[in-house]
Amino acid sequence: MVGITKRFPGVVANDDVSFEAAEGEVHALLGENGAGKTTLSNILTGLYRQDEGEIELYGEQVRFHSPRDALDAGICMVHQHFRLVEPFSVAENVVLGDHRGAARRFVFHSSAIEKRVEELSTRYGLAVDPKARVWQLSVGEQQRVEILKALYREARILIMDEPTAVLTPQEAEALFGTLRAMAGEGKTVIFISHKLHEVKAVADRVTVLRGGRTVATVDAEPATLRSLAALMVGREIDVARPLEQPRRLADVRTLEVDGLTVAGDRGELAVKDVSFAIREGEIVGVAGVAGNGQRELAEAVSGMRDIRAGSVRIAGRRLRGGDPREAIRAGVGHVPEDRLGTGLAPSLSVTSNVVIKTYRRRSFSRGPLLALRRMREAAVGIIRRYDVKTPGPGTPVRNLSGGNLQKLVLGREFEDDPLVLVVAQPTRGLDVGAIETVHSYLRDAATRGVAILLMSEDLDEILALADRILVVYEGEIVGELHAGAASIEEIGLLMAGGGSE
């Protein structure tokens, strides 16, 4: 790809980006969130069209007008957010849209396709049942379906976009093995990530992107984590984890969860008999692969999901469950993982979103009438205090960037003086600067005495922030560790279901 430029309203996602990858190579695209890696790969797969620049495939210039062109050229991508059709079976998903050979026939013969899928899955170590419906599969299995799609189409270039976000450390190792095997067969694998140690583990060469531009292309062997980090961020950062002294905490239990059992979306039990407590000012991190019950746990504590059995107590007061208003009144703040879809109303202004939970209070409404000016003042206050970059309090929140959205939500929750704060995936998709800011806000809140329940798929984040770590697997707590004593390997093992002796 040479000189690729892509603009979106308000931002240049790719600015004169160039890089090349060879046959039989695993080439990593490294950059922090927002550096332009996904946009670049979307251009390569035909989903977007570049504004300027050219793509050359095997020496010949190509122009993609649609994803079909890219697929025909042998380029397949496994996205961060899977492009699967959930009600369909694995086989149906694998063959979808394929118009070569066997699938060209008008009538659809599922058995032949299922057989081929089985062949491929055994050959590459991607175990999955071709007849299963995708919605029944785990996230790791769904990813395998995505890879099978590429293999079925005999892709020559495979792009993996942040694949390990949903895997345990062990599953990630297995994936790397599969990718290296594919490269060994002469395929080209492009590995997009912001995780330094992964890139170093699997790639042959690394291209670093920063702020929409290419910074450098280096060989993976001789590079160190430190040098890669420096390229990625533009300055030297300390990659080692600072060792922290365990903090002194008051003995007041703000959040008590006892025997909590919660049902998931499909009626199955997502949280099974979970018990733990969080003290005033303590940060408890919940580690686990996505889909093991963290989301349901967070929703139960914040009132968005019914409690099937067990109890949740806030400062001694037991919650009925299933009622967000009750939880809010009890002093539970909630920073949901879906910022713009759940925590905020996207088309409404910053002001409206600031008072979205508190508009009934006497400070914001006189009887049924709204006190619009006071709401605006409150919003302006939060914008200032939490450094939310926005043209003004009247701006629709969907115009704000991810980092500012998160600062807004955090600011709103903090201002309400919660006793307990449930925080889910707080820094997903944010750049390093925003991540640091969010972490500092969370630490401040803890210092002020807020009990924080932190769910994160980013182990580094949990290790950096938490006082105690709970590991969930299949809805149960399988391990409890103190942050100082925890190691990534141990946590990873627990996350994958291997209990400690």
Partner 1 sequence: MKLERRLEQPWWLSVAVPLGSLVVAFGMMAVILAATGHDPVETYREILDAAFTGNGAFSATFISATPILFTGLAAAAAFRMQLFNIGAEGQLYLGAVGASWIALQLGDRSATSTPLYVVAMCVAAGLAGALWALIPGVLKAFARTNEIITSLMLNYVAGLLLTYLIFDSSSYWRDTSTLQARAFPQGKPMPEASNWPTFGSEVVVPLGFVIGLATALALWVLYTRMRFGFEVAVIADSPRAARYAGMRTRRKILSVMAVSGAIAGLGGASQIGDFTYTLDGSTTGLQAAAFGYTGIVVAALARYNPLAVCLVAVLIGGLQNAGYTLQGPDFPSGLVGVMQGIILFCALGGELLLRYRLRIRRRSSAHGGSGPAVEPAR
Partner 2 sequence: MNDTLLVVVLADAVLYGTPLLFASLGELLAERSGVLNLGVEGMMLFGAVVGFWTTQRVEGASALVLVLAILASGLAGAAMAAIHAFLTITLRANQIVSGLALTIFAGGLGLSAYVGTELGFSPDLPARQRLGSLDVWGLADLPVLGPIVFDQSALVYASWIATLLVGLYLGRTRFGLNVRAVGEAPASADAMGINVTLYRYVHVLIGGGFAGVAGACYSLSISPGWIAGDTLIGGAGWIAIALVIFAFWRAELCLVGAYLFGALSALPFALQARDVEVAPEFLYAIPYLMTIVVLVIASTGLSKRRLGAPAALGIPYVREER
Query: What are the φ/ψ torsions at residue 448 (nearest 5 degrees)?
Result: -80, 0
- Residues 438 to 477 in contact with partner 2, rule: CB under 8 A: none
Of the candidates 22, 372, 417, 444, which one interacts with partner 1 according to CB under 8 A? 372
- Residues 297 to 356 in contact with partner 2, rule: CB under 8 A: none
- Residues 94 to 123 in contact with partner 2, rule: CB under 8 A: 95-99, 103-108
Q: Is 429 in the site for partner 1 (CB under 8 A)?
A: no
- The DSSP bridge pattern shows strands 451-456 and 332-335 to be unpaired
Q: How many C-beta atoms surround the C-beta of residue 20 within 10 A?
A: 12
Q: Rounded to a whole number, what is the distance in angstroms from the first to the last CA of the chain? A: 51
Of the candidates 20, 23, 58, 66, which one interacts with partner 2 according to CB under 8 A? 66
Q: Is 85 in the site for partner 2 (CB under 8 A)?
A: yes
Taking the least distance from each CB to partner 2, the nearer of 48 and 176 is 48
Only one of the segments 61-69, 299-307, 320-328, 418-426 lies at the binding site for partner 2 (rule: CB under 8 A); that segment is 61-69
Structure tokens at 458: 């980013």
Q: Is 79 in the site for partner 2 (CB under 8 A)?
A: yes
Of the candidates 20, 52, 119, 417, which one interacts with partner 1 according to CB under 8 A? 52
Of the candidates 342, 377, 458, 497, which one interacts with partner 1 according to CB under 8 A? 342
Contact partners, residue 242, CB within 8 Å, separation at least 6: none
| Residue 203 burial class via C-beta count within 10 angstroms: exposed 0-12, middle 13-18, buried 19 and up | buried
Number of residues that bind partner 1 (CB under 8 A): 52
Of the candidates 360, 385, 448, 482, which one interacts with partner 1 according to CB under 8 A? 360
Q: Is 92 in the site for partner 2 (CB under 8 A)?
A: yes
Q: Shortest approach of partner 2 to residue 213 CB, angstroms? A: 19
Q: HEC string of 311-354?
A: EEEECCEECCCCCHHHHHHHCEEEECCCHHHHHCCCCCEHHHHH
Q: Shortest approach of partner 1 to residue 405 CB, angstroms? A: 12
Q: Shortest approach of partner 1 to residue 273 CB, angstroms? A: 26
Binding mask 11-50 for partner 1 (x = CB under 8 A): xxxxx------------------xxx--------------
Q: Is 68 in the site for partner 2 (CB under 8 A)?
A: yes
- Residues 292 to 321 in contact with partner 1, rule: CB under 8 A: 303-304
In Å, what is the CA distance from 293 to each residue of 300, 471, 476? Answer: 10, 11, 8
Residue 132's identity, in one-letter code, is A
DSSP state of 247: P
Say if CB 98 and CB 92 are below 8 A apart.
no
Structure tokens at 244: 């922290």
Only one of the segments 6-14, 87-95, 187-195, 452-460 lies at the binding site for partner 1 (rule: CB under 8 A); that segment is 6-14
Q: Which partner, partner 2, partner 1, none, binds residue 395 by CB below 5 to 8 Å per kind?
A: partner 1
Element spanning 45, H or E: none
Q: How many C-beta atoms surround the C-beta of residue 112 within 10 A?
A: 14
